[in-house]
Each structure stands twice: as structure tokens, then as C-alpha cells.
Structure 1
Amino acid sequence: MIKSLYTRVVLTFLVSVIGGTVISFLMATWLFRDKLNENMQIPLLHFGKDIVRIYDTFPLAEADAFVRGINQLSSYHIRIYEETGQFQSYGKLNGNKPARVTMEQVRQVLAGDIIQVNPSRVSTILLGLPLPTDAGTKALFVESTGPPSTPFLLKWLLNFSLYSLGSGSLLILVAARFLVRPIQKLTMATRRIAAGDFNVRLNIKQKGELGTLARSFEEMSHDLQQLEQMRREFVSNVSHEVQSPLTSISGYALALKQIDIADSERSRYLDIIITEAQRMSKMSDSLLKLSLLESQSQQLQLTTFSLDEQVRRVIVALQPQWSARGISFDLHLKTALLTADHDQFNQVWTNLIGNSIKFSGDGGVISVSIKQDSKSVSVRISDTGIGISREDQKRIFDRFFKADRSHSRKYSGSGMGLAIVKQIVMLHQGDIRVESELGQGTSFIVTMPVTTPAD
């Protein structure tokens, strides 16, 4: 099977040229068959009659001597046969193989017939005439050893070239249609994508460069379709998340314009406005941070640090949150070193442990453990909180997604934390997964390679 587009184009060109040449040769030969035969036959006949007149005019010996000296023998070859089959030849073959003469042909000529031999039905290559001499009738066979006349040959070549050009061009046009059809499909698909239609199927079965291009194009179309869907969801989510605090800020700002409002109510309204503004600021900061992570424009500052010590420091930093609610920690932190961006992983543990604290009940227990082998190190953070449904677990790492929307007011947040965590882990060639049951708690497992991504 021919897979390469280059090979296909070359073979198509060669087949078209060779096929056009063969077709045009057959057409030109068929159209000029009679003229070509006439062009070869008439000179042979005239030359043969001239030889007959020489032998009719001179005695046999003088005629033989005269024939041997004529100039036309440079383009003709003569054989004079006896009844016994013996013959004498005159002239040079110029490297050509003499035409075959049978005894049946010799007898026909001796009987007075004029025969011509043209096995291809295109041109006469051998002409036989009776040759009366003073020693009796003999058989004269004349064949041409030179090319056809120049004017006729030029005319034949001109027509042959025209037919070759026409038939070859027709074949190339037909073949090019099959080569260009996939490109036309790609062009139309490109226009559809440019118009916003990403649901494109090319159905190109080829396996060469065009097939690879078509499959890559379909994959790109699928990715663009997903990207467009994500963009729409992003705009919808941002609008929804921003609308709520803006509504609160606008409403309480209008309430502050009232003259007879109490100082305590005014202070409460201002606190709400400040809280909502901080919420919007935090969401904006999270969006910017996630955008930088996804674009990889933020360079990783790789350092080797103690992973267990980093986790302990994060837990200590979050003490005001968990100690106020009577939450305790069960730590199994095996000594481990990690080569990664220290600040980014500090944010990973802050988000994960912060979520465990947020969704755990008062007096709950959060377990944190570290395991390491020769290839990777894993951190497991488990709580005894409200848990996550199996359906929500599929989208838990999507930005703006919040499991258990009915408690969204109780558990404040922008829904960006886990999306940022996953992006940081993926940038470090790691993996994060969730295990959870409703009402039984949640576990997040982060697995990182021991070696650095650059290694």
C-alpha cells in the first residue's frame, strides 16, 4: 500500500506521462496508418521499378555492375532471388536485421505478383517485384534501411506530441481529483471551524501524510470543541460567582444611604460589604494564579526540601481554624525529601488540609500520612467529614465546582482551590486522586515522583 503523498504524486505523474505517451502513440499511429504506409511503400515501389528498368535495358552482367554503384543503395537493400532460393544482395543494412523472405513469397513474385510485407499494418518494410532479365525472370525484393521522409516525420511527431499532451493532461486531471479531494475536505472543515462549528468529521481513510493530517485535524477539532465548552462554562461560572457578591455589595451600599439607619446596622452592613469584596478579590487572585499555572508562564522554582516538615508547618499555621472546633490530627509523617517548588506545594497542603478542616465536624479527626518507595512519595490526607458523592467526585477538580451546593453558604469558597491543587501537581508530573463516601469522610492522595521533572 502506497502511504506517502510524495510517492503518490510521483507515481501519478509517471503513470500519466507513460500512459498518455502510449495512448497518443497508438492514436497517432492509427490515424496516420495509411499515410505512413503510403510514405514507405511509394519510394520502395519507385525504386524497385527503376531497378527493373535497369535490368530490362542492360545485359545481366552490366546491370549487376550498374546496380552495385548507384547511390540510392545507402538507403535501400536489394535481394535478387533465383528459383532455387539462392540470392544476391546489394547495398548495406546499416546495422538493421534483414526482413525475412519465404520461398512462398519468392514463388509468388516469380509468378508475376507484386507483394508487400507490412506485419504491423503500419508501414511496408519489404516489397517484392518480378525482375525480367536476359537470363530469365527473377524475384526482386527491396527494403528500406533509412527513415521516412522528413516532412512526414515532422508532421507525425507534431501530432504525436499534441496527442501526448492532451491525453497525459486528462489523466493527470483525473488523478489529481483523487489527490486533491482530501485537501478540499480539510479546507471546508477549516472554514466550518472558523465559523464556530467544531463538530467536524472528515471520514478520510487514507494512511499517509493526508490521513495523519486528517486525524490530527479531527483531534484538534475535538479539543477546540472541548475548549469552547469549557470557555462557556467558565463565563457562566464566573458570571454566577461574581453576581452574588456584587448583588450583596450593591444592596447593602444602597441600604447605607438611608439616613435613619442605626450605627450597629451600619457597621454590620459595612462588614458584609468588606467580606464580599474580599471574596471577590480572593476569587480574582485564584483565577489569575490558575491561569498562570495552566499557561506554564510561571517558572517552577525547584528546590529539595523536607516534605514531612513542610506538612507539619502547614498544620501549625492552620491551628486557629482546627483548634477552635476541637479537631485533632493523627500524624504518620515518615521522613521524606521532595524536589519541587516549595511555595506551590505549601499552597497544595494548605488547600487540602484547609478543606478537611472546613468539611469536618466539630471534634473530628484528620489523618495525615506519608509513604515513600524507590520511585515515588505519597501524602494521604483523610477526614471524617461530610464526604463527596460519586457523581461529584468526577468534577471535584473543575474550577468553580462546589460539591453539595445546598451548603454553599455554610462552607464558603470560590471552588478554585482543588483546580489549583491539581494543576500544581500535574506541573510536577505527579498525580492526585480522591476517595470518599457520603457521610463517612474524604481522602485525598497526592503521589509525586522522587526525581525532579527535569531529570
Structure 2
Amino acid sequence: MIRSLYIRVVLTFLVSVIAGTVIAFFVSTWIFEEKFSENAKINLRNFGQDIARIYKTLPPHEADSFVSEMKQLDSYYIRIYEATGKFQSYGKLNGHKPAMVTMEQIQKVIDGGVVQDTPNGIAIVLLGLPLKTETGTKAMFLETIAPPSASFVAKWGLIFAICSLIAGSLLILVASVFLVRPIKKLTKATRRIAAGDFNVKLNIKQASELGTLARSFEDMMHDLQQLEQMRREFVSNVSHEVQSPLTSISGYAQALKQVNLADSERSRYLDIIIAEAKRMSKMSDSLLKLSLLESQSQQLRLTTLSLDEQIRRVIVALQPQWTARGLQFVLDLETLPVTADHELLNQVWTNIIGNSIKFSEDGGMISVSIQHDINTVTVRISDTGIGIPLEDQKRIFERFFKADRSHSRKVDGSGMGLAIVKQIVSLHQGDIRVESELGQGTTFIVALPITSSTE
């Protein structure tokens, strides 16, 4: 199977030209042969009739002498047969093989009939005419021996060129239909996608460049469909997340307009409004942060610091939260310098450890360990909390996604933290995954290169 479009186009052109030339040759030869043979028959018949008149007018010996000196013998070969099959010839063959004449043909001509045949190809005509002489009726057979004239050759060449052009053009036209068909499908699909329709099936099975382009186009179409779905979900999620604090702010702002509102109630309403405003501000900051990370417009500021020391500082900063819940930390932190953007990594550890604190039962335990090989460091953060359902584990790194925590106490959060974590780890050319069972706790595993580099 020819996979290269370039080779297919070249071969299509060559096959079309060769096939068109062959077809044109046979067609033009057929046309030329018909026309030339017809012309040769007319000329030969006229010459034969002239010979017949000579023998009818002159005595046989004078007629023989007259005919033997005719200039037309350069182009014609004459045989005059007796009834016995004996013949007398006029003209030079010049290597030309004379046409075979049978006794049946001789007898037919002597009886007054006419024989006409083209036994040896283009313009080679055999004509048999009865020849009446003083000694009786004889059979005269004439045939052409000269090659086609220059004018006829020129006409044949012109006919051949025209037929070749027409046949080759038709073949290329037909072949181009099959070559262009996949491109037309792609063009039609592009228009449908531009109109917002992503349910397009190309059904192009070729293995050439067009097939590769079609498969890439289908992949792009699938990605665009997912992107459109994500855009719609994003708009829906933002609207939902913004609507809740706005509703609270609007409601409590209306309540503050009451004249007889107690100072304590007024203060509580103001605190709620301030808290909801901070929540919206935090969500806005998270969206901006995630947008910058996804567009990679934020360059990594690489420094070499001790990873274990950074994690310990995050745990100390969160101490008020976990000590209030009676949680314990078990640390297995090997001293290890890592080159990375430690400001961004600080957000990773803060978010993951903060989630472990939020979703751990009171009195639970959180363990953090560091392991490494030559090129990679792996950080495991495990808790003994409520766990994450299996169906939610595949989506926890999506923006605005919140796992089902209905069986646990309500916790604050916009669902943006783990999406930011995932993007930061990806920027460091690392990987993050989660292992969890309901009621058994959750483990986040972060793998990072010891020496990160920007792309």
C-alpha cells in the first residue's frame, strides 16, 4: 500500500499520462487507418480502372509496354493472372512482401467480380479487377507498396496528440476526484465545527498523509469537544460558586437596613458579609492563579532548598488547625536539597496537608514521608480520614470539583485547590496521584524531579 500522498500523486499522473497515451495511440491509429485505407482504396480503384481502359484500347503487347513504363509503379504492384494461375507482374516490390492471392479470388475476378482486402495493416490494400483483353478476360490484382505520404503522417500525428490530450485529461480528472474527496470531507467537517457541531465522522481510512491528517483532525475535534464541555462546566460552576456568596451578601445587606436591628445582630451580619466577600476574593485569586499556571505565563523561579525543611515549616504553620483537632503527625523526612520553585511548592504542601487536616477524624494521624532515587523524589502524605469514593478519585483534580463529603461535617472550599496543585506539579515536570478507600484514609503521592527545569 502506497502511504505517501506525494508518491500517489506522481504515480497517478504517470499512470494517467501513460494510459492516455496508449489509448490515444490505438484510437488515433484506428481513425487514421480507416481514413487512409479509404483514401488508398479510392486511388487504387481509379488506377486500376485506368489500366483496364489501356488494355481495352491497345493491343496486349503495346498495353504491356505502356503499363511497364508508368510512374505509378513506384507506388503500386500489379499482377495479371491467367485462369491457370500464371501471372505477369509490373512494378518493384523493394522488399515488400506481396499479398497472397488464392485461386478462388482469381476465379471470382475472372468471372466478373471484384476483390478488395486490407491484409497487411494500414493503407495496404489489395484490389482485384477483371481485365478484358483481346485474348480474353484476365484477373488483375493491384496493391499499394509505398509508405504513407508526409501529409497523412502529419494528420495521424495531430490526431494522436489530440486523442492523447483528451484521454489523459479525462483519466487525471477521474483520479483527482478520489484524491480530493478526503480533502472535501475535511473542509465540510471544518465548517461544521466552526458552526459548533462537534459530532462529525470523517470515515477516512487511508494510510497516506491525508489519513494521518484525518486522524489528527479527529483527535483535535475530540479535544475541542472536551474543551467546549469544560468551558460550559466552568461557566456553570463559576456561576454557582459566585451566586451563593452574592445571595448571602445581598440578603444580609438588606437585613442591615432594618432600623430596629440590634447592634449584636448588625455586627454578626457584617461579619458574614465580610466573610463572603473574602470567600469571593479568594476564589477570584484562585481562578487567576490557575489561569496563569495553565497558560504557563508564570515562569518558575528556581532555587535549591531543603525539601524536608519546607514541609516541616508548612506543618508548623498549620499547627493551630491540627492541634485543635487532636491530630498527630508522623514524619519520615530525609534531608534532601531540591531545585524548584519553592514558593509554588509551598502551596502544594499547604493544600494537601490542609485537606488531610480537614477530612481527618479528631484524634487521627497524618504521616508524611520522603523517598528518592537518583533523579526523582517522592513525597507521600497519608491520613486516617474519611477517604474519597472511587468514582470521585478520577475527578478530584478538576477545577470546582468537590468530592461527596455528605457523610462528614461541612467544610469550606471552592474546589480549586487540587486543580492548582496538579498544575504546579505538572509545571515542575512531576506527577501526582491519589490512593484512597472510604473509611480507611487517603494518600497523596507527589513525584518530582530532583532538579526541575523550565520548558
TM-score by length of 2: 0.82
Q: Which amino acid aligns with 1:40?
A: A
Q: 1:214 aligns to what? A: 214
Distance 1:50 1:339 in 2: 113
Distance 1:13 1:332 in 2: 72
Shift in Å, 1:214: 1.3
Q: 1:351 aligns to what? A: 351
Contact between 1:77 and 1:145, CA under 8 Å: does it hold in 2? yes
Distance 1:59 1:227 in 2: 103
Aligned-partner SS, 1:215: helix
Q: 2:283 aligns to what? A: 283
Q: Deviations over 1:288-320 (max 9, x none)?
A: 111111122222223333211221122222223
Aligned-partner SS, 2:439: coil
Distance 2:17 2:382 in 1: 75
Contact between 2:402 and 2:415, CA under 8 Å: does it hold in 1? yes
Shift in Å, 1:333: 0.4
Aligned-partner SS, 2:331: strand
- How has the CA–CA distance of structure 1 residues 348 and 361 changed in structure 2, closer, same or farther, with 3 Å as cutoff? same
Once the two structures are overlaid, the 10-residue window that deviates more, 178-187 or 196-205, is: 178-187
Q: Which amino acid aligns with 1:318?
A: L
Q: How does 1:228-307 map to 2 (within 5 A)?
A: 228-307=228-307
Question: Size of the alignment, in residue pairs?
Answer: 445
Shift in Å, 1:78: 5.9
Q: 1:420 aligns to what? A: 420
1:379 aligns with 2:361: no
- How has the CA–CA distance of structure 1 residues 268 and 208 changed in structure 2, closer, same or farther, with 3 Å as cutoff? same
Task: Note the residue ranges of structure 1 that are not aligned, 5 or more in a row.
Answer: none
Shift in Å, 1:389: 1.4
Q: 1:323 aligns to what? A: 323
Distance 2:154 2:145 in 1: 15
Distance 2:323 2:118 in 1: 115
Aligned-partner SS, 1:368: strand
Shift in Å, 1:423: 1.2
Aligned-partner SS, 2:147: coil
Once the two structures are overlaid, the 10-residue window that deviates more, 84-93 or 204-213, is: 84-93
Distance 2:320 2:212 in 1: 58
Distance 1:26 1:45 in 2: 28
- How has the CA–CA distance of structure 1 residues 342 and 120 changed in structure 2, closer, same or farther, with 3 Å as cutoff? farther
Distance 2:119 2:226 in 1: 73
Q: Which amino acid aligns with 1:174?
A: V
Q: 1:340 aligns to what? A: 340
Shift in Å, 1:116: 6.5
Distance 2:51 2:92 in 1: 11
Aligned-partner SS, 2:374: coil
Q: Which amino acid aligns with 2:427?
A: L
Shift in Å, 1:431: 1.3
Q: Deviations over 1:5-29 (max 9, x none)?
A: 2333333333334434444444445
Q: Deviations over 1:79-112 (max 9, x none)?
A: 989999999984867xxxx34655869x969x97
Distance 2:240 2:305 in 1: 40
Distance 1:428 1:217 in 2: 30
- How has the CA–CA distance of structure 1 residues 57 and 438 changed in structure 2, closer, same or farther, with 3 Å as cutoff? same
Distance 1:206 1:240 in 2: 46
Q: 2:398 aligns to what? A: 398
Contact between 1:85 and 1:103, CA under 8 Å: does it hold in 2? no
Q: Which amino acid aligns with 1:147?
A: P
Q: Which amino acid aligns with 1:219?
A: D
Distance 1:385 1:140 in 2: 118
Once the two structures are overlaid, the 10-residue window that deviates more, 111-120 or 35-44, is: 111-120
Distance 1:361 1:338 in 2: 33
Distance 1:269 1:407 in 2: 29
Q: 1:118 aligns to what? A: 118
Shift in Å, 1:417: 0.5
Q: Which amino acid aligns with 1:396?
A: I
- How has the CA–CA distance of structure 1 residues 245 and 418 changed in structure 2, closer, same or farther, with 3 Å as cutoff? same
Distance 1:77 1:61 in 2: 16
Q: Which amino acid aligns with 1:270?
A: L
Aligned-partner SS, 1:406: coil
Shift in Å, 1:330: 0.7
- How has the CA–CA distance of structure 1 residues 373 and 206 changed in structure 2, closer, same or farther, with 3 Å as cutoff? same
Aligned-partner SS, 2:243: helix
Shift in Å, 1:282: 0.8
- How has the CA–CA distance of structure 1 residues 149 and 373 changed in structure 2, closer, same or farther, with 3 Å as cutoff? closer
Q: Deviations over 1:316-356 (max 9, x none)?
A: 22223223333221110012232322221111111111111
Distance 1:71 1:84 in 2: 23
Q: Which amino acid aligns with 1:306?
A: S
Q: Deviations over 1:371-427 (max 9, x none)?
A: 111242100001122221112112111111111353798311111000111111122
Contact between 1:386 and 1:438, CA under 8 Å: does it hold in 2? yes
Q: Which amino acid aligns with 1:374?
A: I
Contact between 2:128 and 2:140, CA under 8 Å: does it hold in 1? yes
- How has the CA–CA distance of structure 1 residues 87 and 317 changed in structure 2, closer, same or farther, with 3 Å as cutoff? farther
Contact between 2:99 and 2:119, CA under 8 Å: does it hold in 1? no
- How has the CA–CA distance of structure 1 residues 340 and 145 changed in structure 2, closer, same or farther, with 3 Å as cutoff? farther
Contact between 1:80 and 1:140, CA under 8 Å: does it hold in 2? yes
Shift in Å, 1:30: 4.3
Distance 2:308 2:76 in 1: 108
Contact between 1:99 and 1:143, CA under 8 Å: does it hold in 2? no
Contact between 2:352 and 2:444, CA under 8 Å: does it hold in 1? yes
Q: Which amino acid aligns with 2:289?
A: K
Q: Deviations over 1:179-198 (max 9, x none)?
A: 22222222221222112111
Shift in Å, 1:126: 6.6
Aligned-partner SS, 2:406: helix
Aligned-partner SS, 1:305: strand
Distance 2:430 2:88 in 1: 101
Q: Which amino acid aligns with 2:346?
A: N
Shift in Å, 1:164: 4.2
Contact between 1:387 and 1:442, CA under 8 Å: does it hold in 2? yes
Measured on the aligned residues, the alpha-carbon RMSD in Å equals: 4.0
TM-score by length of 1: 0.82
Distance 1:336 1:377 in 2: 9
Shift in Å, 1:174: 3.0
Distance 1:185 1:449 in 2: 45
- How has the CA–CA distance of structure 1 residues 128 and 344 changed in structure 2, closer, same or farther, with 3 Å as cutoff? farther
